[in-house]
Structure 1
Amino acid sequence: SVLDPGPLEEIRELQAEAGNDLLVRVIGAYFDSAPGLVEAVANAVEKGDATALADAAHPLKSSSASLGALRLSELCKELEAIGRTGSTDGASDLLGDFLSEFARARRALELYTDEPG
């Protein structure tokens, strides 16, 4: 599965207590920030900018994990670690998987928000 439902269910439980659209807002905030970070990761790999790679992968790692996109978070962790070495060597090998996993996670989150609460 693309998403671990645990983190999303925790948000749903909080939402039930708060009586609002917390899950939709949290996923919406992710959709607002994640595409720019994904683009920044891809650009950093293309330009060989290790600092930019680590700086973009780090927040995406955390936000993806918080929504249950654990495979994407793991790829971000690997890309961040590569960037922290001061090089982008090996990052291009992960880029295709990273981009396709982001697309899968995004679609799964879109479907998740369409489910009845």
Structure 2
Amino acid sequence: MLSSAEPGGAGAGAVPPADLPAELLAMLDAPSLDRLRELDPNGQMGLLPRVLRTFDSSMIKLLQQLNDAQGARDPQVVRHVAHTLKSSAASVGALQLSAMCADIERRVRESDTAELPARLEAMVAECQRLRTGLKFIASA
């Protein structure tokens, strides 16, 4: 069970939002989502779904860049993808993905690549898990 301090936890006094499925809420940090909701409190502008759709589109492009970089054995592109994805994941509350990306970015920067393939595989799996959770917003 998640505490309010853990990613995906409800946060102090937070009410789980009705506009997102429980599966997706379990993957995203509630306080991060709350900060996004504050920008569109009534949801009239559809900001949260738009931000999540943009994150999903960005993730697709970054995963393709990662795939190309791995084929070309270009660690600097891998680092760039990890850095970019780290920031965008954090902004939508995908804190587990953000932490994975930070670890990959650090490892590439320090030329500590021994475990990089396994870590990249885990990061891609987390992206796919998030993408599955984000599917519902595609038609919203």
TM range (shorter): 0.7 to 0.9
2:106 corresponds to: 81
* 96-105 or 53-62, larger mean C-alpha shift: 96-105
Higher relative contact order, structure no. (Cα contacts within 8 Å, ≥ 6 residues apart)? 1
Aligned length: 114
The residue correspondences of 1:26-65 to structure 2 (distance < 5 A) are: 26-65=51-90
The code of the aligned residue for 2:117 comes to S
Residue 7 (str. 1) matches residue 32 (str. 2): yes
Q: Which ranges in structure 2 are unaligned for 5 or more consecutive residues?
A: 1-25
* 101-110 or 3-12, larger mean C-alpha shift: 101-110
Moved over 3 A (4+): 86-89
The code of the aligned residue for 2:85 comes to L
The code of the aligned residue for 1:109 comes to L
What SS does the corresponding residue of 2:114 show, helix, strand or coil? coil
Q: Which has the larger radius of gyration?
A: 2
Identical aligned pairs, as a percentage? Answer: 32
1:105 corresponds to: 130
Q: After TM superposition, give the deviation of residue 14 of structure 1 in Å.
A: 1.4
Q: Which ranges in structure 1 are unaligned for 5 or more consecutive residues?
A: none
CA RMSD of aligned residues (A): 2.4
The code of the aligned residue for 1:101 comes to E
Aligned partners of 1:93 and 1:29: how far apart in 2?
A: 27
TM-score (norm 2): 0.69
TM-score (norm 1): 0.80
